[in-house]
Amino acid sequence: MAASRRSGSPRSPSVSTPPGYACLVFDYRYFGASGGEPRELLSVRRQLEDWRAAVSYARTVEGVDPARVVLWGTSFAGGHVIRTAADDPRIAAAIAQCPFTDGIASAAALDPVASLRMAPRVVRDLVAALRDRPPVRVPAYGDPGEVALMTAPDVAPGVRALIASAGIEEPPHHVPARIALEIPRYRPGRRAKDVRCPILFCVCDRDTVAPARATLRHARRAPQAEIRRYDHGHFTIYSGDAFEEVVADQLAFLAAKVPLGN
């Protein structure tokens, strides 16, 4: 997101953006409309490269002030926001919504039995990658007891509710099993102390994917952190009254930190 002196935005989102804010949305490589094989491969290094490329592009868009680029990310992308802001001192402000901040904390919240059942598939997928063969895939989410990356009781219902509310078919969610090794090693919250711009952390106290305790510990180390806490789970803030509450807080933050007309 970038502050701009023009009204409107480059594309019409489902929720109106405030006049003067332009929003840039992109797909990571391997996902959505972007290219790359194998599909649905999560690579932290490459996703961070995509964030840097998106920021660089945003600064070239006509009518956008390159000194007033704001980062916004949710869940895993919320962690990328922290890393990107820490590495780029030109970022004007950032918003991290229910951010993934600590892979160890997230891994500790998983069902240990399900994690053990995942291990053989991870090994087989790593071997497949070395031999340049199709990946061994696992579901990104599933019900408790199933072999999947996320199996907390609220995960599958939460994802399916979001898909239903968007009115789309369920997208591919079987991902290369090697992803299970990326997640525990990623701890973007440790870079919060290096974020010099104002940053808003929207934390869900009942988050089963990105545990709030770890997020709060990291967030408090950011020099210009503002923290808002919500009595919600990881998926409930995307709709209804919870959505309206968090969006109101984010718009107020933008108005205070990156006001229009300056």
Domain containing residue 55: CATH number:
3.40.50.1820
- The overall average pLDDT reported for the chain is 91
Rounded mean pLDDT of 234-242? 93
- Would the pLDDT of 255 be above 90? yes
Percent of the chain with pLDDT over 70: 92
Q: What pLDDT shows up at residue 81? A: 98
Q: What pLDDT shows up at residue 33? A: 93
User: 182 and 239, same structural domain?
Assistant: no
Residue 141 near residue 111, CB atoms below 8 Å: no
User: 216 and 122, same structural domain?
Assistant: no
User: 166 and 137, same structural domain?
Assistant: yes
Residues 6+ apart with CB under 8 A from 205: 212, 229, 230, 231, 232
Q: What pLDDT shows up at residue 6? A: 31
- Would the pLDDT of 173 be above 80? yes
User: 53 and 10, same structural domain?
Assistant: yes
Token pair in block for residue 53: 């490329």
What are 69-86's pLDDT values in tens digits? 999 999 999 999 999 999
User: 211 and 224, same structural domain?
Assistant: yes
pTM reported for the whole predicted model:
0.91
Rounded mean pLDDT of 235-262? 93
Q: What pLDDT shows up at residue 220? A: 98
User: 120 and 36, same structural domain?
Assistant: no
> Which strand ranges, in their side-by-side order, compose the sheet holding 225-230?
21-22, 2-4, 64-74, 93-97, 199-204, 225-230
- Residue type at 179? I
User: 59 and 150, same structural domain?
Assistant: no
Domain count, the chain: 2
Q: Which of 155, 171, 186 is the last residue of a domain?
A: 186
Q: Beta strands of 12-126 (E only): which ranges? A: 21-22, 64-74, 93-97
Range of the domain at 206: 1-102+187-262
What are 93-132's pLDDT values in tens digits? 999 999 999 999 999 998 888 889 999 999 999 999 999 9
Provide the pLDDT confidence category of residue 139 given band limits of 50, 70 and 90. Answer: very high
What are 177-205's pLDDT values in tens digits? 999 999 999 999 999 999 999 999 999 99
Residue 176 near residue 137, CB atoms below 8 Å: yes
User: 193 and 178, same structural domain?
Assistant: no
User: 142 and 261, same structural domain?
Assistant: no
- Would the pLDDT of 8 be above 60? no
Cα four-point dihedral sign 49, 171, 105, 205: positive
Q: What pLDDT shows up at residue 168? A: 86
Q: What pLDDT shows up at residue 21? A: 87
Provide the pLDDT confidence category of residue 11 given band limits of 50, 70 and 90. Answer: very low
Q: What pLDDT shows up at residue 217? A: 98
Q: Which of 124, 154, 186 is the last residue of a domain?
A: 186
User: 77 and 61, same structural domain?
Assistant: yes
User: 167 and 204, same structural domain?
Assistant: no
- Would the pLDDT of 166 be above 90? no
Q: Which of 141, 156, 186 is the last residue of a domain?
A: 186
User: 148 and 33, same structural domain?
Assistant: no
